[in-house]
Amino acid sequence: MKHILLILGLLSLCAFPSYGKGKQKPVYVFGVSTSFTDSIVYRTEIQLLDSVYLDENKFLPERYTYSYQMKNYLEYDKGLKDRTCAIYFHNDRAKLNKTLQKLLARFKKSNTPVQLINAADFQFKKE
């Protein structure tokens, strides 16, 4: 009987991998867009992705969809063609903000103008 309970316990841990790992943390993101034909770099504010969690490898699931959301917004809503967009993400908003500040300092050092895209104008959405 003890062996059966032990096996059932182990199977339940395998079937429910998030059990026992603690609460999943929310994911924060910001996006950056550049182009060879435009000297302005566009960036979003840091945003919380609702109901999205990092996978077991600490990657954002289907992260390419978020960069395409930003690219489509800039190309179709703002008429800015040929944009390359990158997404930065982290569970810790403070650490992500530190990454953003380092990136902004690099742009400032190279005299690259940075244009903020307000969250009221553009929001990343779970796909």
pTM of the model: 0.78
Burial status of residue 95 (CB atoms within 10 A of its CB: 0-12, 13-18, 19 or more): exposed
pLDDT tens track of the chain, all 127 residues? 443 333 444 444 444 444 434 468 899 999 999 999 989 999 999 999 988 899 988 999 998 999 999 999 999 999 999 999 999 999 999 999 999 999 999 999 999 999 999 999 999 998 7
In this prediction, residue 23 carries a pLDDT of: 66
Domain boundaries, the chain: 23-117
